[in-house]
Structure 1
Amino acid sequence: MRVSERGLTRRRFCAAGAALVSLVGSGTRVLGEVKTPQLAIDTHAHVFHRGLKLAAGRRYAPDYDAPLELYLQQLDANSMTNGVLVQPSFLGTDNSYLLECLKQAQGRLRGIAVVDSSVSSQEIIALEKAGVVGIRLNLVGQPLPDFSASEWKALLALVKSANWQVEVQRNASDLASLTPKLLDAGVNVVLDHYALPDPKLGVDDPAFQDVLKLGASGRVWVKISAPYRNGPQGQAFAKQAYPLLRASFGPDRLLWGSDWPHTQFEASESYGKNRRFLNELVTDERERADVLIAPRALFRF
């Protein structure tokens, strides 16, 4: 099936998803006479539809639907037991669809919300009860926040009290200076998409080398997700980056994510393609299983 680079229509997107679905069953392991499912967690995906209100000042909005039902099909088709829904930046702080999807999934999914810095403790509690376990700061193309400002101190204190994570998407050159400030606030930090070093430099980017040093904190996780967001040679970069990340952070703090539905890369990417790439990236089967189960505590599965 060929898809126009201009984006997927709803019909084409749903058809593409249906074509992927060939249920292979979830893996199991035997403990005595009891069979229990081997957890395999996708830590980064988005759901949305075109009827949702879009955030002002958004940089991008898709022209197709990526509903919960289709995402759950991707999990089933690829033997993934659980997933994490990350609030898309183009929906801003209206997390209502995210919460609706978490409720429908009945515990199979967790959420990462986007909130105003003025969010109240009552709102944090309500989000937590719904299955949210952290906040996202998508800072691509945005001014860098001043974490020393009173509103940020208050927000990070709420995040810390909830034992949530702060998930950050930003280029590595800024992450190297931003992350220590978040750690000083006492929160756990998750860095998106291999920490996004300069695509021209890859693992030789001095900022990426600085990110590797953050592994010593024991409170930073890195998502080995969306290699295509690291330039046209993204897979080659990922294969160079993984052993370095593994040495610095350990496989228990590397988080695989599908990045479904691969916004702005829909024409070239699919869930199955990205899941198969994980097998190439982490060739040892036991280590790969460790990576897929590692998010269990952080995301409270």
Structure 2
Amino acid sequence: MPDIETTLPPTIDTHAHVFHRGLKLASGRRYAPSYDAPLARYLEQLDRSSMSNGVLVQPSFLGTDNSYLVACLKQASGRLRGIAVVDPAATTEELRALDRAGVVGIRLNLVGQPLPDLAAGEWKALLGNVRSMGWQVEVQRNASDLALLVPQLLDCGVTTVLDHYALPDLKLGVADPGFQSVLKLGATRSVWVKVSAPYRHGAAGQDFAKQAYALLRDAYGLDRLLWGSDWPHTQFEATQTYAKNRQFLDMLIADEGERARVLASPHQLFRF
């Protein structure tokens, strides 16, 4: 008989952060944690929630120093993948070294930042490397700007992943014109959306998530939706836990088969 572990579909958490207070923080950071979120504790969360794999996303307050991320990926022996933050002028060899360590993409956390000029030479070179390595570009930005930015990324031939329901305007929710534009991007089949961190959408975050999920499912299909725990829920630690967010997913996607497809959909995208 085959080992049962080989027959079960993967269950992948596509968004988590690890760090400790001894790491050098980036200048100009908007936030710095006052606690540790080490790899061992994250792996415990995966085990307790029966998650087979996870994705570590470089936190913005660590800037482009991905050394702790890389060390954690190596320590996890293939169970995890990474999304790095890099300088636009990063060399091909620097990116290949990250690739060998288990990094599968770069993150553009553009909240509160000017939009990058993707036509600039260094950006064109970086995105060319991203495309050639089969990486993804993960973007955190409000929905109203994604309608402008994402088509530029797609024109560069890169796969694009949008964080946290694509961050529509808190007051408008799914009626946000930017979010409506994001829904149209589903037809490209080159964009994925993370159904993660509903608490970042205000007091009515769970109600928003239910409305947004139904629209995203119809626009993107289950194979282009990703779930992320957003552990350790930076700036929302007092009200959030891994288990709470995993349980909300069960309520959000009540159909077990549908939920299994969403949890398994990152398998190829993240090279598991």
Please classify the TM superposition score into its range, dividing by the shorter chain length. over 0.9
What residue in structure 1 maps to residue 116 of structure 2?
145
Identify the residue that residue 176 of structure 2 maps to in structure 1.
Answer: 205
2:246 counterpart residue number: 275
- 2:65 and 2:36 map into 1 onto residues whose CA distance is 17
* Residue 196 of structure 1, CA deviation: 0.3
Q: Does 1:103 align with 2:77?
A: no
Aligned partner of 1:227 in structure 2 is 198
1:215 aligns with 2:192: no
Of all paired residues, the percent bearing the same amino acid is 72
Query: For 1:115-134, what per-residue CA distance to the aligned partner results, in whole angstroms no more than 9, with x for missing partners?
Result: 00000111111100000000
Residue in structure 2 matching 1:169, options 140, 144, 147: 140
Matched to 1:177, the amino acid is L
Q: 2 CA distance for matches of 1:223 and 1:39?
A: 17
Displacement of 1:166:
0.2
What is the 5 A alignment of 1:242-253? 242-253=213-224
Superposition RMSD on alpha carbons, in Å?
Answer: 0.7
Q: What's the offset of the Cα at 1:34?
A: 3.8
Gaps of 5+ in 2: none
Match of 1:12 in 2: none
Specify the alignment match of 2:159 in structure 1. 188
Find the counterpart in structure 1 of residue 267 from structure 2: 296
Amino acid across the alignment from 2:187:
A
Distance across 1 between alignment mates of 2:51 and 2:237: 20
Separation in structure 1 between the aligned mates of residue 19 and residue 59 of structure 2, nearest angstrom = 8
Superposed CA deviations along residues 231-262 of structure 1, whole A, max 9, x for unmatched, are 11111000001110000000111000000000
Looking at structure 2, the residues matched to 232 and 145 of structure 1 have their Cα atoms a distance apart, in angstroms, of 31
C-alpha distance after superposition, 1:135-157 (max 9, x if no partner): 00000011110111111111100
The TM-score with structure 1 as length reference comes to 0.89
Quick one: distance in 2 between partners of 1:113 and 1:55? 14
Once the two structures are superposed, what CA deviation does each residue of 1:245-288 show, in whole Å capped at 9, x if it has no partner? 00000011100000000000000000000000001111100000
Deviation for aligned residue 1:176: 1.0
Q: Are residues 1:87 and 2:58 paired?
A: yes
Q: TM-score, normalised by structure 2?
A: 0.98
Residue of structure 2 equivalent to 1:286: 257
Distance 1:228 1:93 in 2: 27
Deviation at 1:33, TM superposition (A): 4.2
Q: Which residue of 2 aligns with 1:154?
A: 125
Select which of 38, 63, 66 maps to 2:37: 66
Query: Separation in 1 of the partners of 2:202 and 2:48?
Result: 28
SS for the counterpart of 1:176 is helix
1:55 matched residue in structure 2:
26
- Give the Cα separation in 1 of the matches to 2:243 and 2:89: 39
